[in-house]
Amino acid sequence: MEKKEYAILAVIALATVALGVLTTSKPLWPFFVESTRQFLTTTAAMAWITWWALVIGFAIAGGVEAWTSDEKVSDLLEGHGFREIGYGSLFGFVSSSCSYSAIATAKNLFKKGGSAAATLGAFMFASTNLVIEIGIVIYLLLGWQFLVADVVGGFMLIGLMAFGFVYLTPDEVIEQARENIQDEGDSTVQDPVCGMEVDPEEADYSTEHDGQTYYFCSQSCKDSFDPEEANTTIREQATSLSGWKALADKQWSEWGMLWDEIAIGFIFAGLIAGFIPESVWTSVFSGPTFGLPVYVFWTAVLGAVIGVATFVCSVGNVPFGAVLYANGLPFGSVLSYIYADLIVPPIMDAYREYYGTKFAAILSGMIFVSAVLTGFVIHFIFLGAGVIPDPSSVQIAEVKIEMNYKMVLNVLATVFFLFLYWLHRSDSIGEEEHGEHAHTAD
């Protein structure tokens, strides 16, 4: 995130505290002390509950990216049928959970010929809202009902996006957006060692093998490159130290992109839970005055607006969503809030730079409308099935360090995290294995 975004979030945080101070009926000093205590304990509780899940989720995502090839993906996404939409959803599911990384990858797939429905609809959405780590965190904080709703609603939203691109958006507008990207002339390639996107024209490190040029982000990646590893199986990768180092490098890049947004999500959840009095929530979510459908619809719109205004996206949205649900935001409206992570202001500005103002407006508006409609429909599907959870079941309780399964999982996750960090920092691992292979060949 940029400094401007941090400044905006700081203003929102101060406004949250100020709102609590102005609306509380308690004496100011006791209110401030108690609210600060609740803010800190709620933030710590959510981090404690989800730490092991985040470590495992990022490791799985890193393994998928490091041990599988994404070559010719765009060729599989050229159409907008069920097959292409399915492939886009699958590739999104196993890719990065960072919204900024997702929109960049989707842009490249779209630029290389993938359809708007399969790349900007299926892939881009699935890679932020249907990935493993966000699913685990939703399950831990909000419950299995929200996890199922997130998946079912996710495919519904992808369907709405595909419908919008195929039947509502003129072909000439889509092709103009593709031309705008191609005019950028900033085609990037992937570093075969760490997976980072590299501009071939600016890359300082490259090598050729069998008539193909490989580009690297650093000298260490170039030194670690073994062209024979491109044909290794997943089993061979999973049983070699270099394969695990590749996983560690991938998952660390994920942490580098997302740690601040996850932390901000926990902090904002704690601030809202600690400083906003219950009377404020009661007045905002006063109940279905004009009937339940109207109430759910306008709160779904409100949820999407909150998602846009808070600047937090992907996994960082979930803790805040838990607080909103515990304080009265309806079930489906929370989903609308979570789904709006792809239209926060910085991302909408990126759409404008990538595709032009007209297509950016269409894309952003389509995501907003789809998020609202999906949340609205999913709410009544789950209401009819009688499986909407009680808001009191949401995991925002105060942190308690106890000798239970959570402690065991967190200790094991911490050890695993430190091991992966050591692998990531060890530049000699790849070189040692290459030396062993050379010695064996001799």
The whole-chain average pLDDT of the chain stands at 83
Q: How many CB atoms lie within 10 A of CB 219?
A: 11
Residues 294 and 420 in one domain: yes
Average the pLDDT over each of 42-56, 78-92, 106-120 and give the range with the smallest value: 42-56
Question: Which of the four pLDDT bands, split at 50, 70 and 90, describes residue 209?
Answer: confident
Cα–Cα distance measured from residue 221 to residue 199, given in angstroms and rounded to the nearest whole number: 15
For 18, counting Cβ atoms within 10 Å of its Cβ (0-12 exposed, 13-18 middle, 19+ buried), the class is: exposed
Residue that is last in its domain, among 214, 229, 244: 229
Q: What are phi and psi of 302, to 5 degrees?
A: -60, -40
Supply the DSSP string of 219-284, one letter for each residue. HHHHHH--GGGGG--HHHHHTSHHHHHHHHHHHHHHHHHHHHHHHHHHHHHHHHHHHS-HHHHHHH
In a domain? residue 436: no
Answer yes or no: are the C-beta atoms of 100 and 348 closer than 8 Å: no
- Apex 363 CA angle, 157 and 114, nearest 5: 80
* Domain co-membership, 304 together with 383: yes
**Same domain (yes/no): 321, 335:** yes
Q: Are residues 144 and 197 in the same domain?
A: no
Please check whether residues 246 and 175 belong to one and the same domain: yes
228 vs 100, which has greater pLDDT?
Answer: 100
Same domain? 82 vs 139: yes
List alpha helices for 132-230, DSSP H: 132-142, 144-163, 171-182, 219-224
Of 34, 50, 39, 31, the closest CA to residue 13 belongs to 39
Do 262 and 118 reside in the same domain of the chain?
yes
120 and 221 housed in the same domain = no
For residue 199, what are the CA distances in angstroms to 23, 58, 170, 175, 186? 52, 26, 32, 24, 7
State the alpha helices, DSSP H only, in 73-143: 73-76, 82-93, 99-111, 116, 124-129, 132-142
The CA dihedral of 116, 57, 238, 209, to the nearest 10 degrees, is: 40
In a domain, 439, yes or no: no
Residue 46, pLDDT above cutoff 50: yes
pLDDT at residue number 105: 79
> C-alpha distances in angstroms, 310 versus 128, 172, 225, 317, 342?
16, 34, 41, 9, 12
Name which residue leads in pLDDT, 399 or 233. 233
The 3 state secondary structure assigned to 69-85 is CCCCHHHHCCCCCHHHH
Considering Cα of 341, then 346, then 349, then 351, what sign does the dihedral take?
negative
Residues constituting the chain: 442
* Within-domain flag for 430: no
For residues 66 and 194, the answer to whether their CB atoms sit within 8 Å is no
Question: Average pLDDT of 361-378?
Answer: 97
- Whether 78 and 130 map to the same domain: the answer is yes
Q: What is the pLDDT of residue 439?
A: 45
Q: Report d(CA 406, CA 309) in Å as an integer.
A: 33
Phi first, then psi, for residue 190 (nearest 5°) are -100, 130
pLDDT of residue 193: 62
Share of the chain above pLDDT 70, in %: 83
39 lies in a domain?
Answer: yes
Domain-terminating residue out of 229, 256, 281 = 229
Q: Are residues 259 and 405 in the same domain?
A: yes
Same domain, 222 and 253: no
294 in a structural domain: yes
One domain, residues 314 and 209: no
Tell me the pLDDT band of 234, cut-offs 50, 70 and 90: low
Q: Is residue 434 part of a domain?
A: no
Whether pLDDT at 431 is above 60: no
Output the CA torsion 299→304→305→306 (10° steps). 90
Q: What is the average pLDDT across 324-333?
A: 92
In the chain, the number of structural domains is 2
Q: Establish if 435 belongs to a structural domain.
A: no
378: containing domain:
3-192+230-425
pLDDT (average), residues 343-358 = 88
